[in-house]
Structure 1
Amino acid sequence: MKAKWSAIVPFRGTAGSKSRLIVPGSARPSENALRLASAFAADLIEALAAARRVGSVLIVSARGGAGFASDGFDCEWILDSGKNLNTAAEAGIAAARAHHPDRGAVVLPADLPLVRGSDIDEMLDTADDHSSAYVSDRGGTGTSALTLRPDFQGRPRFGADSAAAHRRNGFAPLPVDPAHPVRWDIDTYDDLVAARPFGFGPRTEEVLENLLRETAIAPASGP
């Protein structure tokens, strides 16, 4: 049996989450962006719960773990300090290693609503061959996943041009297909529209459908 991994999901979970994810015609853009961001996170965590290579999930968030836990699955939560994604990822890695020092850690930002359990397993099977690795986003400059074996001490370098920063700091690029769901991070409404035909998780699809219905009737329901 292949070794399990600890998964870390940083999720800001505040009103400023996904400020660029604005549904056209929305009367409450910040609130609705947070609704979508929360649905993304919930679908990702369900995918992690379904992955055979993942033994536990640790959520780093300002809002707590309520609504994210899966029945019968080891899902924990620690408080996000609110500084930045790298600080949150480092806190999650440290906590995961304290709980399961023999496991590798995989960091996945919470904006990957296309991912399923089998996608996670496929990526981690490839990551087994590396002490540390990253998956670049569709654009090739950002990072949508990071893997670290127990003996690797490198630090996350999320942010502008993070793929190059991770490569400079000892992380190997994982050979993941350009169309792989783990590369589809969703930052804007255009991203959302482009990704939808490939099939979101159920929470994301439900929230998006409700938002589109609300915005369609907004002009008739008030100023």
Structure 2
Amino acid sequence: MRTVDLVLPVKGLPFAKSRLLASFGSGDRAEHRRTVLALITDTVSAALAAEAVREVLMVTPDPDVTAAVRELGASTLPDTSTGGLNAALELGERHLRERYPGTRVGALLADLPALRPAEVTAAIHAARGARAFCPDREGTGTTLLLGAEGGDLEPRFGPSSAAAHLASGAVPLWGPWPSLRCDVDTRNDLRAATELGLGAATVGLAPDLAVPPERPRAVRA
């Protein structure tokens, strides 16, 4: 049974995944755009294939993102919000509720290039209708947020979003879903996703992962 409609928010490609651009070192913006669009494409493709997902709605101001995800079968909504990621999610949530009164809405990050459809479905089922969230690999961020059946999404994305969602009453989902937890912000994240198995769009565009890993930041005394 398809039980959830998902909202995926994406900024314009020139502004998306700035930490990933910095980790490339070369600052190649064309490569950056292609890679970010590939991350989005693989995430949307997996979300659309998840059995527990009815619709995927991309909220974005970017025409290239809009065209790419429409070709995959996702719906789109221009991001006219001015309040950042959470405002874009709330805009998408309102749009979905107008189309499907009483629907259960979820929010999914769009940078999960190794995402497996079965893991999305398993996490949705594990929530058992409660408002719940899936933390990222580090346990500090959030990759998936599910509104409760009959309830609002109440997104709290931003720094330490896992703690913010927990404090707001959402139930943490700690299941064995590595691809769902592997969002990509840096080259090391992309390495981790590569080990899981990248989607078809990202696998041919990932930068050379044989280069030395990023050095840990020096800790000042």
TM-score range with shorter-chain normalisation? 0.7 to 0.9
Displacement of 1:32 in angstroms is 2.2
Give the 3 Å change call, closer, same or farther, for CA 70–48 of structure 1 in structure 2: farther
1:31-42 map, 5 Å:
31-42=30-41
In the aligned structure 2, how far is the partner of 1:25 from the partner of 1:138? 24
Q: Deviations over 1:113-172 (max 9, x none)?
A: 111211211111112x14200111111111111001342135100011111111111211
- Are 2:203 and 1:172 aligned? no
Q: Does 1:66 align with 2:67?
A: yes
Q: 1:207: which partner in 2?
A: 205
Assess if the C-alpha contact under 8 Å between 2:46 and 2:117 holds in 1: yes
CA contact (8 A) 2:102 2:150 kept: no
Q: Any stretches of 5+ residues in structure 2 without a counterpart?
A: 212-221
Q: Specify the alignment match of 1:221 in structure 2.
A: none
Partner of 1:107: 107
- For 1:154 and 1:47, the matched residues in 2 are separated by 21
TM-score between the two structures when normalised by the length of structure 1: 0.84
Report SS of the residue matched to 2:115: coil
Structure 2 counterpart SS, 1:14:
coil
Which is further off, 136-145 or 9-18?
9-18
Counterpart of 1:69 in structure 2: which amino acid? R
Map of 1:138 onto structure 2: 137
Is 1:60–1:89's contact at 8 Å kept on the other side of the alignment? yes
What is the alpha-carbon distance in structure 1 between the residues aligned to residue 102 and residue 24 of structure 2? Answer: 47
Cα gap change, 1:45/1:154 in structure 2, threshold over 3 Å: closer, same or farther?
closer
TM-score (norm 2): 0.85
Give a deviation string over 1:58-87, Cα, whole Å, max 9, x none: 00111142011356x4x2111123541111
Aligned residue number for residue 181 of structure 1: 179
Structure 1 match to 2:215: none
Matched residue of 2:146: which SS? strand
Map 1:25-174 to 2 at 5 A. Answer: 26=26, 28=28, 30-64=29-63, 65-70=66-71, 73=73, 75-80=74-79, 81=81, 83-127=83-127, 129-153=128-152, 155-174=154-173
SS in structure 1 of the partner of residue 166 of structure 2: helix
Helix, strand or coil for the counterpart of 1:20? helix
C-alpha separation in 2, matches of 1:44 and 1:159: 20
Aligned length: 206
Deviation at 1:100, TM superposition (A): 1.4
For residue 12 of structure 2, what is the aligned residue in structure 1? 13
Q: Match of 1:153, SS?
A: coil
Which of 57-66 and 17-26 deviates more? 17-26
Where 2:192 maps in the other structure, the secondary structure is helix
Q: CA 1:114 to 1:171, structure 2 compared with 1: closer, same or farther past 3 Å?
A: same
RMSD: 2.1
Contact 2:2 2:51 in 1 (8 A): no
Q: What SS does structure 2 have at the residue aligned with 1:165?
A: helix
Quick check: 1:37–1:110 contact (8 Å CA) kept in 2? no
Summarize the Cα distance change of 1:82–1:185 in structure 2 as closer, same or farther, 3 Å threshold: farther
Distance 2:83 2:187 in 1: 25
Unaligned runs of 5+ in 1: 216-223
CA distance in 2, matches of 1:138, 1:20: 17
CA shift in 2, pair 1:146/1:27, >3 Å:
closer
Tell me, what secondary structure is at the counterpart of 1:66?
Answer: helix
